[in-house]
Structure 1
Amino acid sequence: MNIRSFPIFFVVLIVLGLALLFFGHAWVLEHQGLEPFGHQLVKSYLLNLVMASMVFFSIYSFRNKYRDLLGFFFLGGSLLKFVLFFIFLYPGYHQDGVLDRIEFLAFFVPYLFSLIIETYFLVKLLNTVE
């Protein structure tokens, strides 16, 4: 895989993967008798998509200039995701005083998928010599 094609592969993989995961997640919720698009599911998937893309493109942009710091960009992006979770999603989840398993999974499933994709591409970038 050519390094110039990384952004295209990343966008295709993250968008298609999160879309399939989103519809699968909603389907599972619906078949458990729960509201399929409740628990801020759409907001969670969009937040993870946007943040994963921002982290990837910042890492990709600085891959030559700050090659030794790419891991810190990655960690900083993960920290930023959790900060945004606590700003945008947690207040809605914590209204009743309890963070249910369903609410936790509404954030953690797309977060974990995004993290795996970001990690894969970071490793590929670090192992590619330009």
Structure 2
Amino acid sequence: MSKLNLPTQFFFLLALVLLVSFGVHILILSSKDLPLFDNLVIRSYVVNALLAAIIFLLLYRFREKLKNQIGFLFMGGSFLKFIFFFLLFYPTYKSDGDMSSLEFASFFVPYLACLFLETFFTSKMLKNLEDSSK
């Protein structure tokens, strides 16, 4: 897979990891006889995937121009995800006055999967920048 450029590798693995994660998520819900598509689970996977893709693409695009600020931009991307959480998901999750563990997992499972990939690929991108500047 090293022949593919970094964003292509990221998008491919993002899709693969989120599809597997979604499948396992739904399988666990099904095995416990819980509602499969409640708690905005599909929206959560889609929103997290889109935000992760956009954030990584922007980091990659500005990697040379803003290489000393990549860490701050990365943290800004995480902050942006939390803004989306509080705008798109939190009102629905708290509408009954309580956020259940199922609601929490519906958002944070894909969030953590995306965060792991973003962190890994941003680190890889920075290492490539460092190696190319030697």
When the two structures are superposed, what TM-score results if normalisation uses the length of structure 2?
A: 0.92
Aligned 1:9-24 pairs, distance under 5 A: 9-24=9-24
CA offsets, 1:72-118, max 9 Å, x none?
A: 11100000000000000111111110000110011111111100000
Which residues of 2 match residues 45-124 of structure 1 at below 5 A? 45-124=45-124
Partner Cα separation in structure 2 for residue 125 and residue 13 of structure 1: 15
Stretches of structure 1 that go unaligned for 5 or more consecutive residues are none
Q: CA deviation at 1:12?
A: 0.4
Deviation at residue 37 of structure 1 after TM alignment: 1.1
**AA at the equivalent of 2:24:** G
Corresponding residue for residue 37 of structure 2:
37
- Aligned-residue sequence identity (percent) comes to 38
Deviations 1:36-60 (A, max 9, x none): 1111000100110001001100100
Note the residue ranges of structure 2 that are not aligned, 5 or more in a row: none
What amino acid sits opposite 1:58 in the alignment? L
The 4+ residue runs of structure 1 with deviation greater than 3 A are none
RMSD of aligned Cα (Å): 1.1
* Alpha-carbon separation, structure 2, partners of 1:73 and 1:58: 9
| SS of 1:10 mapped into structure 2 | helix
1:16 positional shift: 1.0
Q: What is the distance in 1 between the residues matched to 2:27 and 2:99?
A: 21
